[in-house]
Structure 1
């Protein structure tokens, strides 16, 4: 990309940013700078050259052009749930916060949604639920729609209906030269947006909704001394379940918080949560083998689709969180034993959550629409999540996930699901070689100077922590 101007000149040009976005631009030293730069994931202490809060697509374009004039890169960010891969890389960038782009429209007849880059999944699910529709939402209502859609998106309906990125039918994006583009159909930019991103500032997306008003959803919980027995039975059960079933098995060290169910609060438990589509009677039959294991807590019931974003009990308020994941090709008995030994009772693990997500079904088949990420190669995704009081407490959580994943290495895939990996990785590990080659060409054409900061670059180099 173009060389950065000398410090004095850049400082002068940065001053020109102050009047943009109706004054919603914060520079280092400004009273609002520290608050403006904080992402949802508070482990990140990024200090960008400026923070801008545009409210309209034309303001986004103005910021992008101004950043280029100042020799700065641009890092789009909605909520900042996925901010950790950007650590240490924003010193020469304008952090462009999209939270004010809050357009939201649900078309009941077409069963579609149009969503601005600042909209959260909870808002979409609530609006869609009012008319008997559902979205391929993430496991927390506080996650941004656009960012998670560009990365992939695994929902409670994923094994039947695939990735959220495959549901995209249109995007609107500001490119590196400040131009505004709408991409639909077979446009390369829409193909890239389906799991690729990193070529501009996406200001709005449109996507299909699902004609789902209810699902048989909930959780089963046992004391975690039963972890090996339950996880072995669950792994065997997943091999026979139809695509209407999407579940997650978890070793959950639940904090003692009043917003959690009383039967879980402050306890160490093994949990299976998820959703089953179809008639309740059939759903109950499918769950019968797990219920035969006599869980202490059973909340499965016919649930409104708009209640599912809170099913997983994810924290919603900003927090210091660590997350990392690995894809597994299989989960035989030996793998279950290794997982429980590394993360269960007597392991010493400090992770609040070690979960195994059931994949397969529609997630394993190429999406008919195509896209940079059109499927997930792996039978399971293992995700480690830790919560710390302050960033300094993250080191032990990282050691725990490293140790757990090492124990599972025999069954691990070579690929990664990058939206659930905190540490910046080689972006090529998230896509097939063919998809990566096409994505790289699209990015080079749309952003020839590398103006936009990409969370996972096409290099194995690891950036320093912020």
Structure 2
């Protein structure tokens, strides 16, 4: 900040909003700025805990008048890169949530998590297109496209959005849908909030039919056989079935289940919305792939879906990296085994390949077909890896992740999923989530909506120069 001492600025902003404003040194500053990833420490000039859209409007106008950068965070799950200045608007207290069972829709505020939606929708026999964990925020997840647990059946979460409430960088609150502003609506579907701050969102829900799902664990020594079987099995897997395969090297800690503690294992994750007989028949080839250590797959209530992937429910210090792969082409299995197999010494806790395709590949999927900003429809697999940022391996993790990207580059599509590409180690990586055409549209809109580049943190694209923006428009 240049124009006001920090505490004077805090007081000035506090007079404009209902939420609380925090400055460095305040008792709750660290906790309100905290990301879910303990390896990411945000140190903005100010933090606003917004409680409604009016707070966001007032804060954006205030920051814009002072040329102060603006960033937004809800649950903090996507915070890979630290924010070191400007105003951080925390939307975690914006908890509006309503279900319309007749229209099968939901409206959520920017702080609502997926588990809240599932709990509210369950009495109506409905569910939402959440990902591998229901702990993440609905809005941030969906702005990045959102890769659902049942994505091969229904497509990306952003395919089923009805409308956004958006505060643009000029401090205007707009309702954006496919009719009122189709261009801006397309930019919000996968554009990760580049056009501004989403304060609320409306989207379709789906019938919570029978779910057959869970995990199958194998000893890591059988990694090659399990991987080969996964390749063959997924070739004919119906689009209603979702699956991923993870190489897991888990520490010898009390928090880890006893059968996994200190072990290297393979973990198959599976979900099928259908009968037990159908699900069991589909999974049979993988149950025969190698000796099974533990099998948790079976009929599963939706309130236990977090058990499938068993993602951490508490903050941990990690570094993540991801990219999209064409599919099981020549050499991929050997590269994966070199990176994460039994002989690997890479300091990576988890290395996962997730099956794409099905409805994820169809740009006309859902209730809002047409242009969006999503990459990933051309991918056969999603690759994702995680390392713990703790001694003695922390200093080795970044190189291991970049080494994995380099080794897999010949198998890649050249793109990534914005929610899963992890730490933005370079400008090239930051923009790899979007196809060139979508990136140009986003940059042109940025030049119009945010010419001062106030929203420049995280996954922001750069605004085009005026003459280039005119050509794209």
TM-score normalised according to structure 1 size: 0.91
1:147 is matched with 140
Superposition deviation, residue 265 in structure 1: 3.7
| Conserved? CA contact 2:218–2:292, under 8 Å | yes
1:71 paired to 2:74? no
Corresponding residue pairs, total: 451
| 2:190 pairs with 1:191 | no
Match of 1:239 among 235, 241, 259: 235
Unaligned stretches of 5+ residues in structure 1: 460-466
**How far is the alpha carbon of 1:49 from its aligned partner?**
1.1
2:172 alignment counterpart:
179
Match of 1:25 in 2: 21
CA distance in 2, matches of 1:409, 1:317: 32
Distance 1:438 1:280 in 2: 45
- Indicate the SS of the match to 1:421: coil
Which shows bigger deviation, 248-257 or 132-141? 248-257
What do the CA deviations read for 1:420-450 (whole angstroms, capped 9, x no partner)? 1223244542222222222222333222322
Give TM-score scaled by structure 2 length: 0.90
Q: Which stretch of structure 1 is more off in the superposition, 210-219 or 233-242?
A: 210-219
Q: Is contact 1:220–1:273 with CA below 8 Å preserved after alignment?
A: yes
Name the counterpart of 1:365.
362
Deviates more, 1:419-428 or 1:355-364: 419-428
After TM superposition, the structure 1 stretch with the greater mean CA deviation from structure 2, 257-266 or 297-306, is 257-266
1:349-391 C-alpha deviation (Å, 9 max, x unpaired): 221111110111111121351311175221111100122347x
Tell me what 2:100 maps to: 107
**5+ residue gaps, structure 2:** 463-473
**In the alignment, structure 1 residue 314 sits paired with structure 2 residue 317:** no
| Distance in 1 between residues matched to 2:285 and 2:252, nearest whole Å | 30
After TM superposition, the runs of 4+ consecutive aligned structure 1 residues lying more than 6 A away are: none
- Secondary structure of the 2:64 match is helix
State the alpha-carbon separation in 2 of the partners of residues 61 and 237 from structure 1: 51
Counterpart in 1 of 2:408? 408
Counterpart in the other structure of 1:463: none
Q: Secondary structure of 2:38's partner?
A: coil
Residues 365, 375 of structure 1: 8 Å contact kept = no
Report the CA distance between 1:407 and its aligned residue.
2.6
TM-superposition CA deviations, 1:332-359 (whole Å, max 9, x none): 4631122112212121122111111011
Per-residue Cα deviation, 1:295-314 (whole angstroms, up to 9, x for no partner): 22111111122321332111
Say if 2:6 and 2:23, in contact at 8 Å, map to a contact too: no
Deviations 1:116-159 (A, max 9, x none): 10011111122222322121102122211110100011111101
Q: CA RMSD in A?
A: 2.1
Q: Contact conserved, 1:134 with 1:306, CA < 8 A, in 2?
A: no
Pair 25,8 (structure 1): closer, same or farther in 2 beyond 3 Å: closer
- The change in CA–CA distance for 1:69 and 1:393 in structure 2 (over 3 A counts) is farther
Distance 2:280 2:252 in 1: 30
Contact 1:257/1:265, CA 8 A, preserved across alignment: yes
**Bigger RCO (CA 8 Å, 6+ sep):** 1
Match of 1:90 among 77, 84, 87: 84
Corresponding residue SS for 2:124: coil
CA distance in 2, matches of 1:208, 1:23: 30
1: CA distance between counterparts of 2:443 and 2:339? Answer: 38
Instruction: Say if 1:362 and 1:23 are closer, same or farther in 2 by CA, change over 3 A.
Output: closer
For residue 386 of structure 1, what is the aligned residue in structure 2? 387
Partner residue, 2:41: 45
Q: In 1, Cα distance between the equivalents of 2:265 and 2:122? A: 31
- Alpha-carbon contact 1:157-1:246 (below 8 Å) kept: yes
Q: Name the CA shift for 1:458/1:68 in 2 (closer, same or farther; >3 Å).
A: closer
CA shift at 1:20, angstroms?
4.2
Instruction: Look up the match of 1:156.
Output: 149
Q: Is the 8 A contact 1:18 1:26 kept in 2?
A: no
In structure 1, C-alpha distance between the alignment counterparts of 2:310 and 2:414, rounded to whole Å: 30
Q: Which whole-Å CA distance do the structure 2 matches of 1:454 and 1:190 have between them?
A: 21
The residue that corresponds to 1:341 in the other structure is 338
